[in-house]
Amino acid sequence: MLESAVKAHPRNPGTPLNLDQIESLAVNRSAVERRAATLAGRRTVKKEWQAAWLLQAIRCIDLTTLSGDDTAGNVHRLCAKAKQPVRQDLLDAMGVEGITTGAVCVYHQYVEECKKNLAGTSIPVAAVSTGFPAGLSPLRERIHEIQASVASGADEIDIVITRAHVLTGDWQALYDEMQMFREACGDAHVKAILATGELGTLTNVARASMVCMMAGADFIKTSTGKEPVNATIPVALVMDRMIREYHAATGYKVGFKPAGGIRTAKQSLDFLILMKEELGNDWLQPNLFRMGASSLLSDIERQLEHFVTGRYSAYNRHAMG
């Protein structure tokens, strides 16, 4: 079984913006893609070890619903699944108890509904904010949206950056914006969504990652889930290495959240293996690693049922499937 203890770490306070360091960052795409291609063959986990890794993956899921047709009923079901992500008979067969998802993630409108449904648990509520997913509403409105979600009880805020700041190389503007968002969050942790599929190059991904961490981001996150290209292993590798570089320079640990397009148990294992190899065991815990997903949990639960019974079940046998 993977280590389940979550080690506390001091929150990233940010650092002054170092433009020389930002401009010096450059990424060799070919080298990144070669390294990413080796991951699947470097480590394989089977049987009870695979089950243990999949249970850890569940603990790192931000169980998400961000649809235009969300209702209070959908959110109630989401929270129930977050509290009981795997059928009790499967947990009993594996000798596991007390497992939940890492958080639930919703629009601002449903923050209070989530807090009500999750009362008595330690499951955080994350709210997407700042004009999600485009992030192009007026700055004052984006800051007010953060403050409103915090006032409603959100424990975490997933903000979206202005992509134009990255595409034009205006790193001071990105830093200033991120600092304002961090200040508006107060005690709520802030995840900076880079929308990497819209940033053009891996060098831009690296530079945006570093600027957001310098401005005080608690997590950096790949995508909104609404872009044509969302979480990929090459992008995750670049962002992880920026996290490693920032930690080496400052001593502060920043979390990582891939989101969008992660639908299979195998994909979740690929991201966990990447975290272990690039950042170490501390980043296998939900305080430093999350996966934004909605349908992923159903496939993981199917794999766990196969581990227990030797048979695969249909998706419709699992809640939220």
- Residues annotated as catalytic are 158, 221, 257
Write down the residue that tokens 């190389």 correspond to. Answer: 169
In contact, 218 and 187? CB cutoff 8 Å: no
Q: What is the DSSP letter of 244?
A: H
Question: Please, what is the end-to-end C-alpha distance for the chain in angstroms?
Answer: 26
Look at residue 8 and give its three-state secondary structure: coil
Residue 216 has what DSSP assignment? Answer: T
Three-state secondary structure call for residue 187? coil
Which residue, 297, 252, 245, 264, is CA-closest to 87? 297
CA-based R_g, the chain, Å? 19
CA angle 93, 99, 104 (to 5 degrees): 140
For 5, counting Cβ atoms within 10 Å of its Cβ (0-12 exposed, 13-18 middle, 19+ buried), the class is: exposed
Helix, strand, coil percentages for the chain (3-state, nearest 5)? 50, 10, 40
Alpha-carbon span 219 to 228, nearest angstrom: 22
**Cα 222 to the chain's mean position, in Å?**
8
3-state helix/strand/coil string of 62-74: EEECCCCCCCHHH
Which of 227, 238, 247, 298 shows the shortest CA–CA distance to 274?
Answer: 238
Pick the closest to residue 126 from 109, 104, 153, 159 (CA basis). 104
